[in-house]
Amino acid sequence: MTGGAGRLRGKVVLLTGSTGGIGVEIARRLAEEDASLVLTDVDRDACARLAAELPHLERHQPLALDISVEQQWRDVIDGVAERFSGLDALVNNGAIGSAATVVDEDLDRYNRVIKVSQTGTWLGMKHAGALIERSGGGSVVNICSILGTVGGLGNSLAYAAAKGAVRTMTKNAALHWARAGVRVNSIHPGFIETSQLLARYEGSERHRAMLANTPMGRLGRAEEVAAAVAFLAGDDSTFITGSELYVDGGWTCA
């Protein structure tokens, strides 16, 4: 599944969590669609290596960003405004998780998941969204999860709490910006076949449960999430805001 239609030509897109499994595929798809990318993650060198693999290396800017730290957001947005003079889209992909249950989770880990996955998403909307508005409008795409909507397999309590908040914040921000030209939507992947997921679960009872509870009978692919991002980030979705796009193989309709 590839892009390359140039639907994002001339657009500047900021991507968080660029170097994770889904983030890399989002970066590749957006670059194939001719976007100029601001690639961010906590490891700038990893972002730079990713940029070097993409078409039109000279268009892309790798930057270090801990999404839970507001001053780092301010610094990144200042850098984007200086280099590109504006911003057309934000893809809030950065997040961390925990597989612990409501009983097994501990407070420090819970707070860390909320700080990064929930608060970090809000800080992205606050700072990058404001630049998008000043630039004449565009798109915010929040990568959420089916666990922001349903209970999943009964674990990952902190992650579910964070993603449930992202789901609602998306709608709130969509209403705030509805007449300002900034669209805000969420994408809700099901269980996606990344190296991290397979390393943790492949062959386990939980892995079998992921497959059994997905009506399509397989895990999703990261490039399938990336295709949904490309649609919402560009001009094919200009009358869509506050919506939830599920890339889950039918999990939430079963």
**Which residues are known catalytic residues?**
159
Q: What is the per-residue burial (b if ≥16 Cβ within 10 Å, else e) of 130-159?
A: ebbbebeebbbbbbbbbbbbeebeebbbbb
Edge-to-edge strand list for the sheet holding 36-41: 61-64, 36-41, 12-15, 89-92, 138-143, 182-189, 244-247
Q: What's the CA gap between 99 and 111, in Å, rounded?
A: 14
Give φ, ψ of 63 to 5 degrees.
Answer: -140, 145
The answer to whether the beta carbons of residues 19 and 28 sit under 8 Å apart is no
Helix (H) or strand (E) holding 33: none
Q: Which of 127, 131, 159 is nearest to 144 (CA)?
A: 159
